[in-house]
Amino acid sequence: MATPQSSLRSAAAKAWDVWSQLATNIELQAVGVDVAGNRLRLRVAAADLPSAAAVAAEAARQLSVSIEVRLAEDGSEEACTSRDNCTSPMKAGIRIRQGSQYSTALCTMNFHIRIGSNEQFLTAGHCGYSGSNDWYHIGYGANKVGSELATLYQQNGQDAMRVEMPDAQAADDIYSITSNIVGWRDPVQGEAICASLGNSNSIDCGTVSEDFHSWIGDSCGCTIWGANHDNISTIGGDSGSPISVGPGAPYPATGVGIHNRSNGDFARLDDVLDAFGAELVL
């Protein structure tokens, strides 16, 4: 005889207390109602699965319902309400700050990358040319997101650097554009591109004017190589902003650049990844 849904929900509410009395050494992580299976689903950690079966049997007897024990899925509360408060995970296009949580020396987080099994993020290399090597995000609190690991901002290099970040914060999301980054490639002259601009707090689109281009870096006084775009309006602090092709649901995004300068100069993402021996987090 099927258990009414109201009874299943009532049993689900009681399951936490019953479990805590039966098994103080096995943490119950989630309780749900499986309507199709006419039972409760209780979730525990992988290490607890073998010993949880006996506890579940006694809990089922006390609650007068059937119980299935499953593996708990990893998860965390997501908070992304602004470009200054976006964690779990973080997104390309949010503001990052040099030296402290509320520093006025700010740039924008670019795409997240992976080298081996280690997740990191990219931003403009000139952002870290001088001053602290530590980078923060207001929404992440007083703990730094990570420290600069390597830069390409040097003679005949690119205006890009990579920064350590907690692996759990890495994602394939671009703030305000899409959560489906499908890859990366070189920019193509004349194609439409869009940037998620951190400090401007906007999405602005333009075209690739030159897909291979060089200039003299303002901070290093060295020759920098990259590309150039037209008609994307930026302000200070937008350096590092992710540039992509094809953004916006339902279309996937392909990463092509790291915004560098107000005249449209940007680093070529594919060249940066090659130089670092990295790939995007997808």
Domains and CATH numbers, the chain: 5-71 (3.30.300.20), 79-280 (2.40.10.10)
- Tell me how far apart the alpha carbons of residues 58 and 55 are, in angstroms, rounded to a whole number: 5
pLDDT for 77 equals 55
- Tell me how far apart the alpha carbons of residues 216 and 58 are, in angstroms, rounded to a whole number: 73
pLDDT for 249 equals 43
At residue 169, φ and ψ (nearest 5 deg) are -90, -10
pLDDT for 181 equals 84
pLDDT for 250 equals 43
Low-confidence ranges of the chain (pLDDT < 50): 249-250
What interhelical angle do 5-22 and 49-63 show, nearest 10? 120
Long-range contacts of 144-148 (CB under 8 A, 24+ apart): 145/90, 145/96, 145/121, 145/169, 146/120, 146/121
pLDDT for 251 equals 55
pLDDT for 79 equals 83
Residue 114 makes CB contacts below 8 A (sequence gap 6+) with 120, 170, 278, 279, 280, 281
Determine if the peptide bond prior to 89 is cis (ω within 30°).
Answer: yes
Candidates 124, 88, 81; CA nearest to 106 is: 124
What is the secondary structure of 68-117 as a DSSP string? EEEEPPP----EEEETTEEESS--BT-EEEESSTT-S-EEE---EEEETT
